[in-house]
Structure 1
């Protein structure tokens, strides 16, 4: 593995090259959020008040799901403090943006800002890192799962993207709720319960069929869109003992119009260097990274990254290998022999590695 540097090491070298306005909040980003909020309200009203053809309801559900996802991307931006700086307003706007995904701002900042960003791809401390072979060898159920045919696991893994964000969010709530001070726990519970209460109340108001098109199907679509990015952020990269974003993170590329709709969420390495900077300026950060460390920077089209996820397993061995342990196959990670355009496994002996 290459010599590792902290995100601060890179940031200190790029920051002087950035315009001063890049380090200030950009409240104009909220106009995009307002547009999505109006689209969501309009979609809810259309499905709720009219007896629409199922095909039209399906098309509206796609728009709603895409809007849910985009609001989540903006919520992520807001809760990093890059849109507004006042804490109460940041949390209020973040809560509204994350309402469709039912994720509270206090939990998100604890899980994502304070833990994932600080300990990215640390096998013990990053709550989003995938397991090592040593971990699954200690858990009978996981050992059984990873003995299933790889093609079956890959298919289930991709189908699970449609509910993975929601399920992982609930897991993070169970993990972190006890770490909040007792006086703050009621607020964290409220931030979880209120969104779900909204969606359950909507079910009783409009009925199960309309609710399916107004909320459940859009939620599945939003999960899939959000997780298509999140799944490619780090899962092809190695685990690292030092939080080096140029080694443990991947930027994906999408058409420009998609970046506009998704608030530049594709610029993930840049985000890990400057989480407190508006994504509006990430293209400039990317330019500087590629100028200064072109051999270390990882980027690829989102479609290629997803295809690479399909073709590689999600178990780490010796931090830099992705292994299918009970089939005896290993794949390198990015920067460690993985060629996403030509993925080929090598045989390894996993016996006596427990």
Structure 2
């Protein structure tokens, strides 16, 4: 990380590292669209098709607010603590996530330990965890095409459910005096949305909040799952190895505050997203062989059609079918071209990007652990090589 930032700061203008306080004005149109849509659903007796269209608009406003709140809470807009927290609370109000929880979960833990097994709260499962979790074992008994559809549908609730898990995980670790504030920052939004439903009635509330929340969850999670879940687990925080940027139409980048530029964000978390395209150009110039990028739709398709269990840091596995899949930097990008199957799984015992799937050296000469040995055994036996490409 230090090598990247030092190199880039030599070529980037100094002024881009200052906050962009005028961007706080983005709150006005985003909140106005969301409120206007909710009022329209509540006040007018519209056909259900019109209500659904309004719900989609409200949902996109919620999603944009959430993505803007992510930028605000990194300090790239304003750095005055009370104003930063107030703006962040407003932005994340639809998701019932408070700024204190978000900064601990996302800014400290996720950014500090990206794709580090056991430390990153957003990293996915290992083989040890699979064997210890009956519910996860049940999921992988589902036929892969059905599991792919369910994964896509799960994006509509994933962020909300994960945020509740993060509240349960980090609340006991916070200073005692902060806990009431963290709980209040969760309960107040929940109470406001319940009160809204009691006032307008369940039928209107579905279109004013529930459907928009599903849309916002899906939009935000369609980025989050592609940010890192196709990448290797890494023993050091290397954004060019453990992060993926995706490409979307320019108007989508405007609406979503350049959240597609995720590798750039991990290199400079507190840099305004306004300058992410500039950082991208330099990353691709300086490290063309390490930088990972693909169309958003293709990355999302790969997330849905590959398993989320790490057989080792550089390979994913379907534990039930014993099929091994490469990750970014280790062969996945070559299997992600149009017209090809998402993963082209390799049966146990065959090579995956120069390595045998189980216990025998491939062309690289490295060994991987036998089935079920998992990350811990790999680290002990030297199977996790920080010097290999992408780590």
Q: TM-score range by the shorter chain?
A: over 0.9
- Given that 1:150 and 1:324 are in contact with CA atoms closer than 8 Å, whether structure 2 keeps it comes out as no
Matches within 5 A, 1:310-321: 310-321=304-315
In the alignment, structure 1 residue 214 sits paired with structure 2 residue 233: no
Equivalent in 168, 171, 184 of residue 162 of structure 2 = 168
Matches within 5 A, 1:201-240: 201-240=195-234
> Equivalent residue of 1:316, what SS?
strand
> Equivalent residue of 1:211, what SS?
helix
> Equivalent residue of 1:323, what SS?
strand
Equivalent in 372, 382, 387 of residue 353 of structure 1 = 372
> Equivalent residue of 2:325, what SS?
strand
Using the TM superposition, give the Cα deviation of residue 229 of structure 1 relative to its aligned residue in structure 2, in angstroms: 0.3
Using the TM superposition, give the Cα deviation of residue 269 of structure 1 relative to its aligned residue in structure 2, in angstroms: 0.1
The number of residues matched between the two structures is 348
Answer 1 or 2: higher relative contact order, Cα 8 Å, separation at least 6.
1
Using the TM superposition, give the Cα deviation of residue 141 of structure 1 relative to its aligned residue in structure 2, in angstroms: 2.8
Query: How far apart in 2 are the matches of 1:324 and 1:340?
Result: 18
In the alignment, structure 1 residue 327 sits paired with structure 2 residue 321: yes
Report the equivalent of 2:68: 74
Cα-Cα RMSD:
1.2
Report the equivalent of 1:121: 115
- TM-score scaled to structure 2, two decimals? 0.87
> Equivalent residue of 2:106, what SS?
helix
Query: How far apart in 2 are the matches of 1:227 and 1:249?
Result: 15
In the alignment, structure 1 residue 35 sits paired with structure 2 residue 35: no
Query: How far apart in 1 are the matches of 2:83 and 2:127?
Result: 43
> Equivalent residue of 2:176, what SS?
coil
Matches within 5 A, 1:59-138: 59-138=53-132
Query: How far apart in 1 are the matches of 2:9 and 2:371?
Result: 48
Query: How far apart in 1 are the matches of 2:121 and 2:312?
Result: 19
Query: How far apart in 1 are the matches of 2:168 and 2:140?
Result: 25
Query: How far apart in 1 are the matches of 2:302 and 2:135?
Result: 26
For structure 2, the 5+ residue unaligned runs are 350-357, 359-369, 374-391
Matches within 5 A, 1:241-280: 241-280=235-274
Report the equivalent of 2:133: 139
For structure 1, the 5+ residue unaligned runs are 1-6
Using the TM superposition, give the Cα deviation of residue 140 of structure 1 relative to its aligned residue in structure 2, in angstroms: 2.6
Query: How far apart in 1 are the matches of 2:124 and 2:146?
Result: 18
> Equivalent residue of 1:163, what SS?
helix
Using the TM superposition, give the Cα deviation of residue 286 of structure 1 relative to its aligned residue in structure 2, in angstroms: 0.6
> Equivalent residue of 1:184, what SS?
helix
In the alignment, structure 1 residue 44 sits paired with structure 2 residue 47: no
Query: How far apart in 1 are the matches of 2:81 and 2:2?
Result: 24
Structure (1 or 2) with the larger CA radius of gyration:
2
1:150-182, Cα deviation, whole Å (9 max, x unpaired): 222222111110000000000000000011111
Report the equivalent of 1:4: none
Query: How far apart in 2 are the matches of 1:139 and 1:53?
Result: 45
Query: How far apart in 1 are the matches of 2:297 and 2:133?
Result: 33
Query: How far apart in 2 are the matches of 1:281 and 1:34?
Result: 22
1:229-264, Cα deviation, whole Å (9 max, x unpaired): 001000110111111000000000100111011111
